[in-house]
Amino acid sequence: MAERVFITGMGMITAIGDNVAENLERLRQQRSGLGFTSYIDTIYKQVLPVAEVKHNNDALFALAGITPREGYTRTTLLGLAAMREALRQAGIADIQSAPTGFINASTVGGMCDTEKVYFDIINPEKNGTFLQYIDTLDCADCTQRIADIVGFSEHIATISTACSSSANALMFGARMIKQGFLPRMVCGGTEALTRFTLNGFNSLKNIDKQFCRPFDQQRTGLNLGEGAAYLVLESESFARANNSRILAEFTGYCNANEAFHPTSPSPDGDGAYEAMKSALAMSGRTLGEVDYINVHGTATLNNDVSEGKALERLFGSGVPRFSSTKPFTGHTLAAAGAIEAIYAVLAIQQGIIFPNLNFKEKMEELNITPVTELMEGVSVNNVISNSFGFGGNNASLVISKYEG
Amino acid sequence: MAAISPQTTFQGDIFSAPLVHTDKNLLACVEPDYKPFIPANSLRRMTRVLKIGLTTALQCINGSGVETIGPIVTGTGKGSLQDTEKFIREIEQYKETALNPTPFIQSTYNSVNGLIALQVKGTAYNNTFVHRGFSFENALLDSMMLLAEGAPNTLTGAFEEITAEHFYIKSRIGFWKDAPTDNRALYETLTPGSIAGEGATFFLLTGTPAPNSKAALTGFKMLYKPAEAKLAAALAEMAAGADLVLTGRNGDSRYEHYYQQLDTLLPGIPQLPFKHLCGEHDTAGAFGMWLGAQILHAQQVPAQWFPMLKDIPATAGKILLYNHFYGEQHAIMVLERV
């Protein structure tokens, strides 16, 4: 019997807060982080809303706990800020105190900073400190800089499966624990807003000029966001021997591919259905034991139909309470899975269900509607968290209350 | 297994294929005819790394005798550079308006995985690792875990491309040698930098030997920025019983000392370097593993590919493969005859 995997630490930074407590506060206040960008150089500055972390890079250096220096991208700094909190919360003063792996996720690496100097980089007549950003373009750069500052020396990896990247990072870490490679893993993802990604999604006509409206009949697309989140995962035996404070149990997960279309989900949500069904089966929980689903809910036309259909197919007339928290954080791509996994833990710990902001009108394709008001004092024992991405990559996680 | 590389590895007999050489410090892939593999309407839109990745994967499946493909797991350090470069350029050129989304979609690191899954209707687990010299290696670790968890097989591979623009970019931070260096002479002069390469390599892996098995992976270790002593201990331990060493030597004077450890640690075991065949790139380790499996399966070394060596071993039963990427990600594998 493979070991159980526990969540023993969490750290995050998003448009609604620099740490877990601030995120929780803003979720409770039902105040969105959406607005307009201060830091991206784009013609869409006042046109396309984004959920940006409200700090310039100098301030992020302080949050990351390092002095300003060249070569550290916004992606790395967001990641470091979240990493510091996760380790602090897990009571890890020295990462070397136990063999610990680091599984990171990123969709475009340090593009946020590289894109600003790219045309200088390819111009032989230009020279300067910008050359120190050349190697930050790939996704491993942020992982290794975070690893080196914190002192990780065991297994490291970076995953990139578009919007499901950090959900897959959590899964990979949990599997390494279960197979006995390492007793402790820190897993999650980091994502900074870029002109590249903003134009990418805009060229796909997937961005709403208003604040996004998941599961609403009138929705027209997503809003991008940025942030980072990491969770500390520990094997049961290690957590007990180490006397770790257990926040929740990571009971199930599934990664399934849809093999339907490069960017669109299937209309009936085959991949979403399979991912949720298999993750739940692994957790040993029944359909009726699911108290809340933090849906992927990007508010694109296709995602919400597909995901909604999958919910109806899996749960029939008993679809649990569900909401998308994307109107708070924007779609943070590689970081989304880990950010929302932390929200799942918060829902369990606090007995709350977060509202799906901006919802007004039920979708005609569906019979279900999301939770629209903050619910407190609810018993939340099992949460499904969904992350679906380009390339047909679907991931579902099941996070459960720790019950000894 | 299958490989598209700067050598003629995709079709034909590798034991008679002449060594492809150039002094451009950039080894580009010998590209096959893609039409038998990819429908023409898809082919038109696809950029080079998507074509080489997808075609290698399909060829690998064709030769495996396996009908139902399980999980698909890959590694790539850079993904589609051509698409990334194109989208950056078009954003600038068209001032962020009326952009064609295709390069953006294809620049996504998991786009090759998505294409493979689409074409073979692979609905199982699907993952892409993007970590420089640990990209393919993490895909391999993931695959081994999947097999241990009960997956019937995995399609495991890597793909990388080098573009003229990226070659220039990396030349600005010392990745390549300054002097034009013929790949046949890569190991003659130790100077900073190596020569660039690219390629796609795929393996169909199973947890138990199958009639078509080419080789067995019996040992595997990744070490991130290890101290020399830690690395030496791992190499010595895993080398037990090996009669051939494949090395990622690449002529780069800055990191040669890691490979030189092999000379003192494992005296008397013949070594074959492989970077003059595939060039240096994030997922060159996959090419090394492919070469090792070829040697073990055919019980023959493609001697014509090693004109720089005096004594070439005739064959091998157990191979130690050691590769690192610019001194940071070190990977050690043990491959054995089935």
Q: Which two tokens stand for residue B214?
A: 């080419």
> What 3-state DSSP class applies to A24?
helix
Under 8 Å between Cβ of B255 and B324 = yes
Helix H or strand E segment including B87: helix B81-93
Candidates B100, B129, B172; nearest CB to A203 = B100
Does B232 contact chain A (CB < 8 Å)? no
Partner A, chain B 171-230, Cβ-Cβ below 8 Å: 172-173, 222, 224-225
- pLDDT surpassing 80 at residue A284: yes
pLDDT in tens, A106-146: 999 999 999 999 999 999 999 999 999 999 999 999 999 99
pLDDT computed for residue A390 by the predictor: 84
pLDDT in tens, A56-82: 999 999 999 999 999 999 999 999 999
If one compares A235 and B311, the residue with the highest pLDDT of the two is: A235
All CATH 3.40.47.10 domain ranges of chain A, comma separated, are: 5-241, 251-400
Query: Is residue B89 exposed (0-12), middle (13-18) or buried (19+ Cβ within 10 Å)?
Result: middle
The mean pLDDT of B95-121, rounded to a whole number, is: 96
pLDDT in tens, B195-250: 999 999 999 999 999 989 999 999 999 999 999 999 999 999 999 999 999 999 99
Q: Where in the sequence numbering do the catalytic residues of A fall?
A: 163, 296, 331
If you search the block for the tokens 């597909």, which residue do you land on? A306
- pLDDT surpassing 80 at residue B93: yes
pLDDT in tens, B298-307: 999 999 999 9
Question: What's the angle, vertex CA A263, arms to CA A258 and CA A265, rounded to 5?
Answer: 45
- pLDDT surpassing 90 at residue B324: yes
A251-400, which class in CATH?
A: alpha beta
**CA-CA distance, A142 to A109, in Å (whole number)?**
7
Does B132 contact chain A (CB < 8 Å)? yes
Residues of A in contact with B50 (CB under 8 A): none
pLDDT in tens, B41-58: 999 999 999 999 999 999
If you search the block for the tokens 């199982």, which residue do you land on? B124
pLDDT in tens, B148-169: 999 999 999 999 999 999 999 9
pLDDT computed for residue A212 by the predictor: 98
How close is the nearest chain B Cα to the Cα of A351, in Å?
A: 33
The mean pLDDT of B267-291, rounded to a whole number, is: 97
Domains along chain B with CATH numbers: 2-336 (3.40.47.10)
| Residue A391's pLDDT band (cuts 50, 70, 90) | confident
Judged by phi (left if over 0) then psi (alpha if -120 to 50, else beta), residue B18 lies in beta
If one compares A391 and B206, the residue with the highest pLDDT of the two is: B206
Lowest-pLDDT choice from A22-36, A97-111, A253-267, B51-65:
A253-267
pLDDT computed for residue A1 by the predictor: 59
In degrees and rounded to multiples of 5, residue B326 shows phi and psi of 45, 40
**In chain A, which residue's Cα lies nearest the Cα of B77?**
A138
- Kindly report the number of other CB atoms within 10 A of residue A261's CB atom: 14
If one compares A390 and B128, the residue with the highest pLDDT of the two is: B128
pLDDT in tens, B124-149: 999 999 999 999 999 999 999 999 99
Q: Which two tokens stand for residue A303?
A: 């995602």
Mean pLDDT score across all residues of chain B: 97
| Residue A404's pLDDT band (cuts 50, 70, 90) | confident
> Does the beta-carbon distance from A119 to B138 stay under 8 Å?
no
Q: Is the ipTM of this complex over 0.90?
A: yes
Q: How would DSSP label each residue in A193-212?
A: --HHHHHHHHHTT-B-SSS-
CB within 8 Å of B237: residues ≥ 6 apart: none
- Contacts A–B by Cβ distance under 8 A: 168
Does B128 contact chain A (CB < 8 Å)? yes
What is the CATH topology of the domain spanning A5-241?
Peroxisomal Thiolase; Chain A, domain 1 (3.40.47)
pLDDT computed for residue A2 by the predictor: 84
**In chain A, which residue's Cα lies nearest the Cα of B110?**
A161
Mean pLDDT score across all residues of chain A: 97
- pLDDT surpassing 90 at residue A28: yes
Radius of gyration (Cα) for chain A, nearest Å? 20
Candidates B97, B110, B121; nearest CB to A162 = B110
| Residue A357's pLDDT band (cuts 50, 70, 90) | very high
pLDDT in tens, A196-222: 999 999 999 999 999 999 999 999 999
Residues of B in contact with A107 (CB under 8 A): 108-109
pLDDT computed for residue A392 by the predictor: 87
